Every structure is written in structure tokens, then in C-alpha cells.
Amino acid sequence: MPSFRDDHIIVIQVGSLYHKAVFGLAESLSPPKVHVRTRVGIKDNNEGYVFDEIHAVAPKPKNNEELDGVAANEKEKEDNEPSFPAYKSDCIIDDWKPLPNEVCPILRGRVVRWDILRVYWKNLYDQLVAKFATQNDPNVRYPVCLVVPTYWSRRDREFACQTFFEDIRAAAFAIAEEPLMGLYAVGILSGLVIDVGYEKTDITPVIDGQIVSSASQQVQIGGRHMTLHLMDSLKSSLPTLQSNGQYIPAEQVTELFAEQVKCSAITQVLRESPNEPGTYKDIEPEHQYEDEGVEDIGKIVASGQTRAYLAQKEREKKGLLPKHERPANADVEFQKISVAPLGECIIGRERFDTCKSVFHRSSTVGINLAEAIYMTIKGYAIEYEKQNELWENIVIVGCGSRIRGFREGLIQQLQFKYRLVGKVDPYYVAQGTDPIMGMTTSPLTPYPTLINPSKTLPDYFPAWKQDSTSRQPLEELPFLGGSIIAKTVFNDSVATYYVTTDDYTQVGPVAIHRK
């Protein structure tokens, strides 16, 4: 059996809020080109379905000259912007407009409506082929790799296999698990994968390429909880409209309003003080002057920079400053952001409190994310010798981790609470108990000496580098891992790791368990 062409391979990552997909794999793997909401609208009297159009991400420049040209244009544009320009949100407004009789087939990662999901997958596959396929022949069939949560049951996987062979008529089918794909993307086999989703967070330990299902857990904290917390904060301190300076009415500060603010560059997690968790540490200026605001004119004249000094003052009067001379977001009390449909709004420091509901969740509501991570690693399902390996390789993925500084903030919370910075009291060592969590632990020390995020991506994935023009590369690491697996398994002419049409004809959907 011949292997499949790379430009015919389809990779789809399942999500409760969005599906991500790509048609055709390039020599250097790229982030997903398509993002589409996971929902289906049903017309009245069941006369048909309504779907969202797929969103294609703009491609990167092809060569260094084009890249230099784009960079030069962007720099000139940024330097001519006002000192405090209005930020724009990455939130796509059309994705939040309700569909008629809208149904979401996946809730917190689990399928609740298979009949709707099958229709959704069929439409997504058809749109991908229609938009990206170079051949319009309806008889051409394409292989599909589906990236799914690890807790999907055997029956769920059989339903997926059945859908892609009977309804979609795929040429071949394979399933990949999200936590493993997140580790494959960074080139490691052991680590802790934290997938921050829309309404949940999955914490999955992986040891030597094997998922420890008994230690995995799901916490009912996600990106939506951050949005709701930000909405409540904004309602308690109402933002203002730039056009008239009036406060925005509380009824207009909706969840969509908060979502737009959250999905922008002005929302950020600041570094906290280790002595007072929950309070933010101000950034100290590098230089302190006794006479602030008083300029030494004689020194300026003697340096021969008089003309440059006057030109800079003229730019300041016009409200123009180069981007590198503008103050950091953390140092600015208020920021402007364009929010649909209101226009430019002024947001205060409430934008820095978005993740408080995740990092400092009240004990009366449930455990916070850091506590859930600690309990996952320190449970009896993880061998004591392997626990430090998990602490030293933490991979944080998922759209809920998109907020700038979220990863650093979570690692900091873990270091504040659980990293061993001194000796443990001999009493706790002798009793084998945890002095903070109040639970029995493994022998010796209950705390790690090192807590680190995983290493960075390899250099041979330039499109996934953080300084590239790709969208939020780190949150989509499972998709990169799925693309690696798809490129590998579908080039295997023996069909060892994927289901073929012959396999499905012989044994049916259970063939997915034999691969």
C-alpha cells in the first residue's frame, strides 16, 4: 500500500469551544490554519443546519526580504502611532453571534451530542477540501488524524472512526491523544501537561511516553471563569468611553465585552510578591533622580545633541513616540482598547486581576489550579522517583493560557507554595506528612527543589517560535505534536499505526483499537 502525500494529510484537533485544523502538511510544520467554533445551528422544523465559516490564518512572509519589508513597514507605522494607541482584541466577534437553535456537541471536552458532532465533522471536512484542495475531484479521499482528549472512551473513539469512514469517506484514519502530542512537540517523553480549556483544565502526567490515567484529573476552572471574573471586576469599577468620557453602563459590560478585553495585549498577569501572594509587586525604575522633571540644558548643549533633543520634544507635544520608548503596559494605569460595538474604551488596572479566580480561588469554592497540580503529582499513582521529573517538565497549553504572563504566573505560584527552599521540619519527615496540605505523602521530602516549565521548541520549527508572526504558538503545542505524528504514520506504507478502508471493512469501528 503506498504512503500518502504530505499535502493531502488533514489534521484536526477537537475542542469544546474551537476546532483547529490544517489541510496539507508542509516540509516545515506550521500552526493550524483554520479555527472554527464547535457549534451547529438547527433551522426551524429541522429543515437543515447552520454552520460557521472557517477562519484561515494569514500566512507568513515567504522569504527574508519580504519579512524585512513587513518589519520596516510595521516599525514606521508603530512609530507614527500616538504614544498610547487603542489596542485591538484578537476576539472574533462573529464567532459569538448566536446561531438559530444553537447546539454545542462537546462540553468540557466530552461529547454530549454525537448526532450533531457527526454533522459538524462532515461540514468541516467538506469546507477544508473545498477551500484548500488543489483537485476538485469528489472521488479523491484524504487521510485524517484526529487529536482528542485522553479521557475519550473506547466507544467515543469507535464513533469517531465510524464517522470518518462511513459519513466522510476518509482514505485513512488515526487518533492521537492531546497530552502526548504536547510533549512530542517539545521533544520529551515525561512531563506534566496542563491543558487550560474554556470551562475546565486537564492535568495529565506522562511517564516515559505513557499517560498515567489514574493520576489525571480535571478541574472545573478555565478561560470562561477568567472572563466572568474580569467582567465582575469591570462592573465594580466601570470603564469609560474615549469619545465622551462617560462611564459605560453596567448592563453593557457583558461577557463578550470582557472577552474582548481578555483577548488583547492590555490584559496581563503581573509578578506577585512572594511575601504577600495576591498582591502585585511594582516594577522599580532603573534610575532615580533627585530632581525629577528638571533637565540639564547645559549637559544637552555640551553633548551636541541639541537638535535631536528638540525634535524629540516636538514629537512628545504631538503625542508621538517610537514603540520602544513607550512605557510598558504594567506601568500604565489606564489603557485604551477598541471594543465592539462601543468603540474605544479606557480600562483600568482591573485588567491585571483576570487570573485571580484561577490562582487564588477561595477554598469554599474548591481547590485552585496550583493545589490541583500538587495533588496530581504527589498522589500515590506517581512513583516517588518520577515526581521530580514531572516538576521539571511542566507543559502549559490550551486557549485559556493565552493571557500574557499566565505561564510565568502559574509557575511562580507553584514555586511560592511548593518549592523546597530550606530544610523540612524533622517532625514532618518522620511522620511522612505534608505540613501545608495536611495529607500523607511519599517518604523523605514532600517538596521539589526545582519547578520549571519544559524546554523551548526545537529550532527546526521556525513558524512556532514566539517571535514569529504565528498566533499564540505555545497554546497550540498539541496540534504541532499531532502534525508530527500524522506526517510520520501516514508515510508508513505498512499501515501499522492508522486504520485503512480495508481494515474498517473487515472488522468495523473496533479497528481503531488495534492501531
What's the CA gap between 484 and 179, in Å, rounded? 14
Asked if 195 contacts 201 with a C-beta cutoff of 8 angstroms, the reply is yes
CB-count exposure of residue 348 (10 Å: 0-12, 13-18, 19+): middle
Close Cβ partners of 510 (under 8 Å, ≥ 6 residues apart) = 158
The residue with greater pLDDT, 352 or 429, is: 352
Q: What is the CATH number of domain 189-221+366-454?
A: 3.30.420.40
Q: What is the 3-state secondary structure (H, E, C) of 176-238?
A: EEHHHHHHHHHCCCCEEEEEECCCCEEEEEEECCEECHHHCEEECCCHHHHHHHHHHHHHHCC
Q: Which helix (H) or strand (E) holds 36?
A: strand 34-37
Asked if 13 contacts 399 with a C-beta cutoff of 8 angstroms, the reply is no
Q: Which helix (H) or strand (E) holds 344?
A: strand 343-347
Asked if 449 contacts 420 with a C-beta cutoff of 8 angstroms, the reply is yes
What's the CA gap between 306 and 313, in Å, rounded? 11
Q: What is the CATH number of domain 6-52+99-186+459-514?
A: 3.30.420.40
Q: For 117-129, what is the mean pLDDT?
A: 96
What's the CA gap between 236 and 400, in Å, rounded? 24
CATH 3.30.420.40 residue ranges for the chain = 6-52+99-186+459-514, 189-221+366-454
Close Cβ partners of 335 (under 8 Å, ≥ 6 residues apart) = 84, 87, 266, 329, 346, 347, 351
State the cell numbers at 55.
Answer: 477562519
pLDDT in tens, 443-492: 445 567 778 787 677 777 888 876 544 445 788 999 999 999 999 999 98
Q: For the range 243-252, what are the long-range contacts, defined as Cβ-Cβ under 8 Å and sequence gap of 24 or more?
A: 243/343, 243/344, 248/342, 248/345, 252/342
* 65 band by pLDDT with thresholds 50, 70 and 90: very low
Q: For 165-183, what is the mean pLDDT?
A: 96
State the cell numbers at 423.
Answer: 530544610
Q: What is the pTM of this model?
A: 0.83
Q: For 306-311, what is the mean pLDDT?
A: 62
Closest to 399 (Cα-Cα) out of 13, 6, 110, 7? 13
Start-to-end CA distance of the chain, whole Å, equals 16
Q: Which amino acid is it at 92?
A: I
Q: For 215-231, what is the mean pLDDT?
A: 95
Of the candidate ranges 53-57, 198-202, 311-315, the one whose mean pLDDT is the lowest? 311-315
Looking at residue 443, what is its pLDDT? 47
Q: For 376-395, what is the mean pLDDT?
A: 91
